[in-house]
């Protein structure tokens, strides 16, 4: 069975940092594309960052220069380093995986984690 488990969320002040982790089982992060999405109450879920099996990355304009996606193949874990956090970054953050890059960066398909809450206070 495929399982994605996010951790690392919490409450931080504006300007602070958090690192989210996505621990995968049943799939290899080195052989799949991985992504991070977020969803605030009453808003649509949006792509934050993605990394391909080859290491290519993609970021939303709103987080470019502040967030970094990476993976540790030995730990089968994907990370999202979030710096210079803003109140508008407040959301539930979800990990996503699929063998296809196109599936990870668009639409509801693929495997999803349960989400972790990030709250940024002003």
Q: What is the pLDDT of residue 61?
A: 98
CA–CA gap between residue 88 and residue 91 (Å, rounded): 8
Strands 10-13 and 116-121: parallel
Ranges under pLDDT 50 in the chain: none
- pLDDT tens digits, one per residue of 67-77: 999 999 999 99
CA–CA gap between residue 96 and residue 67 (Å, rounded): 17
Q: What is the pLDDT of residue 101?
A: 97
- pLDDT tens digits, one per residue of 28-49: 999 999 999 999 999 999 999 9
φ, ψ (nearest 5 deg) of residue 116: -140, 135
What are 36's strand-pairing partners? Answer: 49, 95
């Amino acid at each position: 069975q495929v399982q994605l488990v996010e951790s690392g969320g919490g409450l931080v002040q504006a300007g602070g940092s958090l690192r989210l982790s996505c621990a995968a089982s049943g799939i290899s992060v080195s052989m799949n594309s991985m992504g991070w999405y977020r969803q605030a109450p009453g808003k649509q879920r949006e792509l934050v960052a993605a990394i391909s099996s080859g290491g290519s990355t993609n970021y939303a304009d709103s987080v470019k220069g502040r967030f970094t996606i990476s993976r540790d193949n030995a730990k089968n874990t994907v990370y999202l380093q979030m710096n210079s956090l803003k109140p508008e970054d407040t959301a539930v953050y979800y990990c996503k995986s699929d063998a296809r890059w196109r599936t990870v960066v668009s639409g509801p398909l693929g495997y999803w984690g349960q989400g972790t809450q990030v709250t940024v206070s002003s």
